[in-house]
């Protein structure tokens, strides 16, 4: 059964894979530039890594929340009930 799900997911994922890869590659390039600039200002590598990780996770959460809000549609108020 898991193999069937894997096959289905592969069929769904594969058409999007290159697009997603390119966008993640671009995001990685931006992150590397931020890391490099922070290094110029003598910010320790372990601090930079933790800071970037927290910021990126927060951004991913915000993006997911925005997507969920769009999918849910407008909230009903007393006036629209």
Q: Could you state, in order of their start, the residue ranges of all structural domains in the chain?
A: 2-70
Q: Could you report the per-residue pLDDT of 10-67, keeping only the tens digit for each? A: 999 999 999 999 999 999 999 999 999 999 999 999 999 999 999 999 999 999 999 9
Ranges of beta strands (E only) in 1-81 are none
pTM of the complete model: 0.74
Tell me the CA end-to-end span of the chain in Å, nearest whole number. Answer: 44
Q: How confident is the model at residue 2 (pLDDT cuts 50, 70, 90)?
A: confident
Burial 6-24 (b: 16+ CB within 10 A, else e): eeeeeeeeeeeeeeeeeee
Confidence at residue 4, expressed as pLDDT on a 0 to 100 scale: 94
Sign of CA dihedral 30, 15, 10, 72: positive
């Amino acid at each position: 059964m898991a193999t069937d799900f894997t096959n289905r997911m592969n069929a769904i994922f594969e058409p999007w894979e290159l697009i997603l890869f390119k966008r993640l590659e671009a995001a990685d390039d931006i992150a590397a530039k931020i890391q490099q600039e922070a290094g110029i200002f003598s910010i320790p590598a372990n601090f930079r890594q933790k800071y970037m990780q927290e910021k990126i996770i927060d951004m991913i959460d915000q993006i997911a929340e925005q997507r969920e809000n769009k999918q849910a549609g407008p909230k009903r108020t007393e006036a629209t009930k």
